[in-house]
Structure 1
């Protein structure tokens, strides 16, 4: 269970890490079932959330997940604007904080989708349609093809960074772990970051192809990345390994909800820090 505190921002952050973990766990679990031929699906986050509708209390779970994802969005934005994680103001620090700010916006969109499903309003055209729509819009702007290509390269580079973190990085850097749990939690983290690295590289590749061919139809999200793996030689093995990694990252998210070190500012400090950044 998340370690809820009197600081509302920390509480939102912990609920957010837990909600993100549940989403990744759903995506990974469903993809693993698809890989071994036991049903399931190779869909993205929105598709995974939609499967909850058929479960007991599914709308309640969706509402709680939406609440958690809004909390994660809030934490990402506060973290980026106030440097709550002490990333620093050098180029690397600003790059990480910028990525977290973008992450906050993305998870806000996923939270809206979850809430829409919980309220019985559907989830729009899905993640691929949304990605293709914004790609088409961006391509219609001056230098749009170059921007799409650069975004694809940035996403692929993020995937490579995740892969590096899985191999050599300290996946427990922000976790306050009991000694007897550290080894298996680190293993979960490494599996999770490796799987995220694979899918981010593929998603970035889709965007690069879209820019190269001037076609937004090339763009695919997480579900498209998983289906691409499934279509390769021995694809069921590749999909199963990646799915297990995504499921592991889901469990790692629940660990973050409990054990992550969160030095969250109080509401007044956060407002002051944001105000200082205004011109």
Structure 2
């Protein structure tokens, strides 16, 4: 009987995880499409997660879209907390496992904050997230300990960027996916290529954001702090800026597609 209850609990948690991955896929897909359009001056905008929330609100039935997105992001955050606490995929309690589970918890907090931001936008209390972030960093930079905290954040972002490239190197991000209804070798090739492009794009953007945080700490200038949209602006300044920005944006679209595949076919529990 206890086994049945545990299985039932696992099922609803798994469903929440699948809904959460769909929401994450939408965020990255929309960010990629908007930035891709901006790269070729076809409308759109250089977009990160926050800009996606603001874009959705401007659409017909925008508040409804934001409510759905907030629910989806809360589901994703919830699943990350489950991964951190219950370890459904047997990451383990060794150093590597603890680091991954800590990362899941931090990821959960970030996506929960994004969901809360979506709700605040509905109520008109969202304000400018960029200014709020810079205000927090400005407060931290007023003390030596705060500067160390900002440097620590930068190092964490660099580590996260490196982990994205490590996943590309390992190429094992499809190992927890169930076989799909088309020939698996073909499906795996399509899914892996989307994953490769997505993880590379994320690695580049996270690395640039980490650079922004490091510059803020070294220069005591919170104004250098920017998110993904700022990272795209940074990329655009290079000689091949528009094309490079388009490639990274396309990578985000691929990552969004990869998240949809994960939502449908991932084994959420190691059984």
Give TM-score, length-normalised by structure 2. 0.90
Alignment pair present for 1:151 and 2:157: no
CA contact (8 A) 2:17 2:76 kept: yes
Work out the CA distance in 2 between the residues paired with 1:130 and 1:139: 14
Larger fraction in helix = 2
Structure 1: state its 5+ residue gaps.
266-279
1:221 aligns with 2:227: yes
Q: State the Cα distance separating 1:52 from its structure 2 match.
A: 1.8
Q: Is 1:230 the equivalent of 2:233?
A: no
Q: Which residue of 2 aligns with 1:78?
A: 82
| Residue pair 2:171, 2:192 contacting (<8 A) in 1 also | no
Alpha-carbon distance in 1 for matches of 2:56, 2:16 = 22
Is the 1:171–1:190 contact (alpha carbons within 8 Å) kept by the matching residues of 2?
Answer: no
Q: 1:135 aligns with which of 127, 134, 137?
A: 137
In the TM superposition, residue 190 of structure 1 has moved relative to its aligned partner by 0.8
Given that residues 153 and 205 in structure 1 are in contact (C-alpha distance below 8 angstroms), is that contact kept between their aligned partners in structure 2? no
Mapping of 1:167-182 within 5 angstroms? 167-178=169-180, 179=184, 180-182=186-188
1:2-151 alignment to 2 at 5 Å? 7-117=11-121, 119-126=122-129, 128-151=130-153
Contact kept? 2:46, 2:233, Cα under 8 Å:
yes
- Quick check: 132-141 or 180-189, which moved more? 132-141
Q: Cα distance 1:240–1:67, how it changes in 2: closer, same or farther (>3 A)? A: same
Gaps (5+ residues) in structure 2? 1-8
Considering only aligned residues, what root-mean-square deviation do their CA atoms show, in Å?
1.9
- Seen in structure 2, the aligned counterparts of structure 1 residues 55 and 213 have a Cα distance that, compared at 3 Å, is same
Whether the 8 Å CA contact 2:164–2:203 is kept in 1: the answer is yes
- When the two structures are aligned, how many residues end up with a matched partner? 259
The answer to whether the 8 A contact 1:13-1:74 is kept is yes
What residue in structure 2 maps to residue 244 of structure 1?
A: 250
Moved more, 190-199 or 159-168: 159-168
- Report the equivalent of 1:271: none
Return the offset for 1:114.
1.6
